[in-house]
A = this chain, B = another copy of it.
Amino acid sequence: MPNKVAVYRREHFNAAHRLFRADWNDEQNFSVFGKCANPSFHGHNYELEVKVVGVPDSTTGFVIDLKVLSDIIQEEVIERFDHRNLNLDTPYFKEVNPTAENICIVIYELLRGRIDADLDIQVRLYETPRNFVEYPVL
């Protein structure tokens, strides 16, 4: 049985966001989300790592051409999120908070449909070099 290999591609985007619940008042929001609740927004350089797992193609030696993977990430994620306000400029965080966890799940869903179903994928998102998340948990 041919063996599986994991390949990774790293991309980045810069965005603004704010953590808050519209059904809470300012005091509640600041008490739970701290300075991340600032109504004028703040922002991050997000680093995105996409893992794709599968058997390398015997003709090319690629699990997936990383140039193709990079293009898919560009179209599905970077064009939607880069230099945007995640709360105001995208439709994904109207009902849920743009926490790193939720952004990571949204990115996974955006990519999942574009990559062959026989390849597993996982997304890691760095909000800062010291805070990051991963979805799904394999």
Contacts and interface: CB of A to CB of B under 8 A. Distances in A.
A60 B130 contact: no
Task: Please give the count of copies of this chain that the complex contains.
Answer: 6
Nearest to A6: B134
A9 interface: yes
Interface string A12-24: 1011110101000
A51 to B, nearest CB: 8
Given A5-B104, A133-B6, A42 B61 contact: no
Contacts of A132: 7-8
Give the size range of A's interface with the partner. Answer: 35 or more
Interface string A43-64: 1110000000100100111110
B40 A43 contact: no
Nearest to A35: B83
A12 B21 CA distance: 27
A100 interface: yes
Contact of A62 (B4, B42, B67, B101): B101
Given A45-B45, A61-B97, 14 more contacts: A4-B136, A4-B137, A6-B134, A6-B137, A7-B100, A7-B131, A10-B131, A15-B42, A16-B16, A33-B60, A43-B44, A45-B128, A61-B96, A63-B133
